[in-house]
Structure 1
Amino acid sequence: MKKGILSLALTAVFGLTATANPIDGEKKEIKTSESTVTWKAYKVTGSHTGTIALKSGALEFDGDKLTGGEFVVDMTTINTTDLEGEYKQKLDGHLNSDDFFSTASNPTSKLVFTNVKSTGKNAYEVTGDLTIKGITKPITFDVSIYGSKATATLKVDRTNYDVKYGSGSFFDNLGDKTIYDEFDLVVDLQM
């Protein structure tokens, strides 16, 4: 009887210890100054490209397997790279305005991974919560990791985040002034 109680007590102690202290994964901070986020937006008459700076970010791993991530983007750094001078200043100002990203009242955007699924060697399908202008919506995209580098391409529907300016989905008779709802983000991360 005493042996049975001792075994039960040891099982309970070691069982609780095992569940109370799960193996923690490794969190790798992103080198924001060496990482890039490039955007490309499309309109009927062409496209525009630019960059935006990461404020902070980290990827989480269990061994060499990606398990999570969280990133904050500094929206006030929206920068058009395909224009110069007055046209660049006008577009940058417009993208910062309430017509687009309202960066004065929403200076950051955030992405938090909610599910990571391995799809092959160094490849993952990630679902995350993307917050722009205080609105959070799920987004799914692919991530590739090679050593200390990670890359991803995201297709974002801006109208999900109340960015409707020039959208043919909300306004009629825009003609060649129509701006397509989706834009691309190409992300190159250094850890």
Structure 2
Amino acid sequence: MKKRLATLAMALVVSVTAFAQTKTVKAEESTVTWKGYKVTGSHEGTVDLKSGTLKFDGDKLTGGQFTVDMTTIGSTDLEGEYKGKLDGHLKSEDFFGVEKYPNATLKITKVKATGKNSYKVTGDLTIKSTTEPITFDMSVYGSKATATLKIDRSKYDVRYGSGSFFDGLGDKTIYDEFDLVVDLQF
């Protein structure tokens, strides 16, 4: 009887473990695009995913973590001298300080299914060594996942041009929230 129970317990552990998987995100095939807004318009661009994993129990998302290479942040809506100036400014201490803070990270802490392939995801986002919770929607279809995040940069000490910290900016004001659209391949 003891031998049978031990065999049954081992089979149960193996079958449960077989459904729990960690899948590596293909960073080179995935995209992260951003869009920032100011009184007079907006700018958009990309930043490279350095690494990432998604955790599943069967076909249900349960977790994950990601590292973004902030040194790759760049605009896609400008060219030449103006592109160079904006890209350099985004990398400077005024914005993301990529020399001191070359990576941003996201660690998923909670996942709630909201439909067959959709989830409400909560995680800890770290930018410039400041960690804040963030909640966003994610969809998973086959070997692809998509998410749209709205990030308040002021929570991460990214204050340049922020009306929340500086008075009298007028049409030079840059809004605190920016958008990320993430398309993952795994």
Q: What TM-score do you get using the length of structure 1 for normalisation?
A: 0.90
- Cα displacement (A) at 1:23: 3.3
What SS does the aligned partner of 1:89 have?
Answer: helix
After TM superposition, the runs of 4+ consecutive aligned structure 1 residues lying more than 4 A away are: 13-22
What SS does the aligned partner of 1:120 have?
Answer: coil
- Cα displacement (A) at 1:14: 8.3
How many residues were matched structurally? 184
Q: For each residue in 1:125-170, what CA deviation from the matched residue of structure 2 results, as whole angstroms up to 9, or x when unmatched?
A: 0000000000000000000011111000000000000001100011
Query: Of 11, 19, 25, which residue of structure 2 is paired with 1:30?
Result: 25
AA matched with 2:16: I
AA matched with 1:111: L
Please say which structure displays the higher CA radius of gyration.
Answer: 1
Alignment partner, residue 101 of structure 1: 96
Query: Of 133, 137, 141, which residue of structure 2 is paired with 1:138?
Result: 133
Q: Distance in 2 between matches of 1:111 and 1:33?
A: 18
Alignment partner, residue 168 of structure 2: 173
Q: For each residue in 1:31-70, what CA deviation from the matched residue of structure 2 results, as whole angstroms up to 9, or x when unmatched?
A: 1111000000000000000000000001110000000010
Q: Distance in 2 between matches of 1:42 and 1:16?
A: 56
Alignment partner, residue 92 of structure 1: 87
CA RMSD of aligned residues (A): 2.1
What SS does the aligned partner of 1:88 have?
Answer: helix
Q: Distance in 1 between matches of 2:8 and 2:37?
A: 56
Query: Of 65, 78, 81, which residue of structure 1 is paired with 2:73?
Result: 78
Q: Distance in 2 between matches of 1:145 and 1:135?
A: 28
What SS does the aligned partner of 2:147 have?
Answer: strand
Query: Of 59, 62, 71, which residue of structure 1 is paired with 2:54?
Result: 59
AA matched with 1:190: Q
AA matched with 2:172: K
Find out whether 1:118 has 2:113 as its counterpart. yes
What SS does the aligned partner of 1:23 have?
Answer: helix
